[in-house]
Amino acid sequence: MADVILVGVGGQGNVLSARILAETALLAGYDVKTSEVHGMAQRGGSVICTVRWGEKVYSPLIPEGRADYLLAFELLEGLRYLVYLRPGGTAIVNDYRLDPLPVQRGDAAYPQDALDVIRSRAGKTLVLEALEVAKAAGDRRAVGTVILGALSRFLEFSVPAWEETIRRLVPSRAVEVNLRAFAMGRERG
Amino acid sequence: MKRSLLSGNEAVALGAYHAGVRVAAAYPGTPSTEILEELSRHPDVYCEWAPNEKVALEVGIGACLGGARTLVAMKHVGLNVAADPWMTLPYVGVNAGLVLVVADDPGMHSSQNEQDTRYFARMAKAPLLEPSDSQEAYQLTLEAFAISERYDTPVLLRLETRISHSRTVVEHDGTRMRVDLPYEKDAVKRVMIPGYARLRHSVLIKRLEELAREADSFPHNRVEMRSDKVGIVTSGVCYQYAREAFPEASILKLAFVYPLPEKTVRDFASHFHRLYVVEELEPFLEEGLKAMGLDAVGKTRIPREGELNPDIVGRSLADLIEMDTGVKGGGWTPPPSRQALPPESALPSRPPVMCPGCPHRGLFYLLSRLKLLVSSDIGCYTLSVLPPLSGIDCQVCMGAGVGMALGLEKAFATSEVNAGMRGKVVGSLGDSTFIHGGITGLIDMVYNRTPSTIIILDNRTTAMTGFQDHPGTGKTLMGEETRALDLEALCRAVGVESVRVVDPWDLEATEKVIREEVEAPRTSVIISRRPCVLLERRPAKPYVVEEEKCNGCRRCLRLGCPALVVRGEKAWVDPLLCVGCSLCAQLCRQDALREAGEDG
């Protein structure tokens, strides 16, 4: 069993990544629950998804400080939702900064110490250049699959199971790129 | 038995399909939109986007009277629009089953208010079921159709955002039922003239008593006896939160929420000196329990606003349950310290913003710059209320921008203190929301000689909820080509003398038209037409800043475009985000922005 929280910015694809993770856990026979954000998510706002699996799962929302893994698609969002990560848990962080409007306009400062603060709570922090890896795999939109590849090192699910869910959920023209992105992410996990 | 991971919305759609639904109607609204989208993927179900929720329910009433099982779906505020047919439908009853699915949005993730739909069941004297996960969403949809036909009543199925948009495991092996009931004329039952309606009201009250007995034998109400000291009454997703926060507590999980299963509740209550009620929003169950004379702790502890979660439920009740049980925290484990973390308020917020290239941006930039009073409604453009555009003065519900503009204008007409505001009122609304609820306001405006300007933000789709078609797009939910509503012709037909179309990517021409129409002493309509940038993805032609020309005046930043950033003292365009709408270049007085071209 595990609790995973995926955070990022609308348009980065963490809703799809959460689904891939959840369906992979379902294949392994677990009870699975997710929560997703819709509506405003497409408008560049902050987005949080949860995935939980185990013998029996109750709340789709993860209580504060209980997530075993934090997958941060963006640094500030990683910092914003760090409170959900269990102290000593694992953070997989995309080393990527996307300035929100108040920062763009110079009304607020982007926190410079995001990674340090994340490291201070997490037992293990894996920092990835997921955007660069995704580009190398063939599509910058495959950031989420790179991050899942890295996460897969920590989980019991088999590579063929991951690949099966990626094939099923990713649009058919993007399957090969995403399989490559997953493998490249896994190498870095 | 198939095992699928379905959202609550998908589970309702699957349940409806297996229940044999042949007609379904909805107006899109987060978090309910995906129900009809999903159902329309199944064969042999007529699915439609109605122009608004009232029409959707009326279509549903006709279809169920016509012998087809029928699903109607909407978000909570949609039921306000559909309240007129909803309040009389229980008098009329159904023929084949009718289930109205309404999704509430506690926490207002994507809504203008936090109203609690359960009161609409009580007000209409109709039964209400509420699932606690997708498995129940599937099963309760099937049950709802059975109850609807057995008791000749519409059934309200209430979802919440965390049911609609959570995925949980659904086991199903259902085959599709075939329901096709004969239509027989029965005017006494179906024509609600006062004399007949009086008869039907008596039937309705008697039916409610029968439904209360049904509620008591309903198999999806579940008693889980664990602790003999702590009893929690709950329903919906709150069951999951209570179960997680207090794993040892005994729980009565209700699925039949109205009318309340009194005997079930009393039996459960008899084991405990008081009950805890865990529910989101209003004290609906709590009031029911207290009306039965039971001692219940609810909203004195648990917030009446916002979304709940296991932490809030735990924190709200831990001390009381500790007193009951002698167990520390009542069995709830508080979260670890937040001490090493920056407070949320210290982090820059990330509000949703209009996309780069959004056709609304240029228009609201102009409305704001011209210092017009803008009464608006619900859509992506509502985001322009935030700085730097700050382009909206008031917004209440879909279509309201038109009527409010009329009211403002009439108030200013006889005002001394607000005399300066005369002729400065503009109403704005979307293409979909104009059809939903704006047309009648426009008729009022013409009829009552109001010199205001209405701007229809025609982006050729229902964008905010994820690009649903509507009567103006020329395509149906089922993918058929159809006649597209002609907005210009419609506005002229209701008597608007001046109907003009502008391209909001052309600031100069748009500004000229707005100025002319605002000054003219007549009702006028400006249609600001350009498809949503996400709808018609074109190859982007990003702009660049010529650094030597940029003097750092930040004029371009007044657009609030996500692709424009200050780097050092100069503006910088993110080439990955910019789609090349050119608004920034139109604003720049230094001529520092130009299309990147081949050399990048």
- ipTM of the modeled complex: 0.96
Non-local CB neighbours of B323 within 8 Å, separated by 6+ positions: none
Give the structural domain span for B231: 222-331
Query: Which backbone phi and psi does B345 adopt, to 5 degrees?
Result: -65, -20
B341 located within any domain: no
How close does chain A come to B422, measured CA to CA in Å? 34
d(CA B72, CA B53): 9
CB–CB of A104 and B565 under 8 A?
Answer: yes
Residue B379 lies in a domain: yes
**DSSP state, residue B348:** P
Q: Is the Cβ pair B166, A103 closer than 8 Å?
A: no
**B452 inside domain:** yes
Enumerate the residues of chain A whose CB falls inside 8 A of the CB of residue B468: none
Q: Which residues of B touch A5 (CB under 8 A)?
A: none
Residue B339 within a domain = no
Chain B residues close to A110, C-beta within 8 Å: 348
Domain ranges of chain A: 2-187
Report the number of distinct structural domains present in chain B: 4
Is the domain of B401 the same as that of B418?
yes
Torsion of CA B435, B436, B437, B440, to 10 degrees: 40
Are B334 and B245 within 8 A, CB to CB? Answer: no
Per residue of chain B (600 residues), give pLDDT as tens.
Answer: 899 999 999 999 999 999 999 999 999 999 999 999 999 999 999 999 999 999 999 999 999 999 999 999 999 999 999 999 999 999 999 999 999 999 999 999 999 999 999 999 999 999 999 999 999 999 999 999 999 999 999 999 999 999 999 999 999 988 999 999 999 999 999 999 999 999 999 999 999 999 999 999 999 999 999 999 999 999 999 999 999 999 999 999 999 999 999 999 999 999 999 999 999 999 999 999 999 999 999 999 999 999 999 999 999 999 999 999 999 999 999 999 988 898 888 999 998 889 999 999 999 999 999 999 999 999 999 999 998 999 999 999 999 999 999 999 999 999 999 999 999 999 999 999 999 999 999 999 999 999 999 999 999 999 989 899 999 999 999 999 999 999 999 999 999 999 999 999 999 999 999 999 999 999 999 999 999 998 877 777 899 999 999 999 999 999 999 999 888 889 999 888 899 999 999 999 999 999 987 554
Residues of A in contact with B109 (CB under 8 A): 37-40
- Give which of B459, B458, B427, B413 is closest to B523, Cα–Cα: B427
- In a domain, residue B478? The reply is yes
Kindly state whether residues B125 and B209 are assigned to the same domain: yes
Do residues B494 and B557 share a domain?
A: no
Residues B463 and B483 grouped into a single domain:
yes
Identify the three-state secondary structure at position B527.
Answer: strand
Q: Going by DSSP bridges, is the β-strand pair A31-35/A46-54 parallel, antiparallel, or unpaired?
A: antiparallel
SS3 category, B454: strand
CB contact under 8 A, B241 and A83: no
**B134: enclosing H helix or E strand:** helix B134-151
- Kindly identify which residue of chain A lies nearest to residue B573, measuring between CA atoms: A104
Residue of A9, A19, A23 lying closest to B350 (CB–CB): A9
Nearest residue, CB atoms, B244 vs list A59, A111, A140: A59
Answer yes or no: do B310 and A59 touch at CB < 8 A. Answer: yes
Query: Both B290 and B371 in a single domain?
Result: no
Q: Are residues B289 and B429 in the same domain?
A: no
- How many whole angstroms separate alpha carbon B528 and alpha carbon B495? 19
Could you tell me if B197 and B226 lie in one domain? Answer: no
Write out pLDDT tens, residues B89-136: 999 999 999 999 999 999 999 999 999 999 999 999 999 999 999 999
Provide the CATH number for the domain around residue B441: 3.40.50.970
Closest CA to B379 of B352, B406, B339: B352
Q: Which CATH number does the domain housing residue B590 bear?
A: 3.30.70.20
Q: Is B352 close to A110, i.e. CB distance below 8 A? A: no
CATH architecture of the domain A2-187 equals: 3-Layer(aba) Sandwich (3.40)
Task: Assess whether the previous peptide bond of B259 is cis (omega < 30° from 0).
Answer: yes
Provide the whole-model pTM.
Answer: 0.97
Residues B505 and B371 in one domain: yes
Contacts of A74 (CB under 8 A, 6+ apart): A7, A8, A9, A12, A94, A96, A97, A98
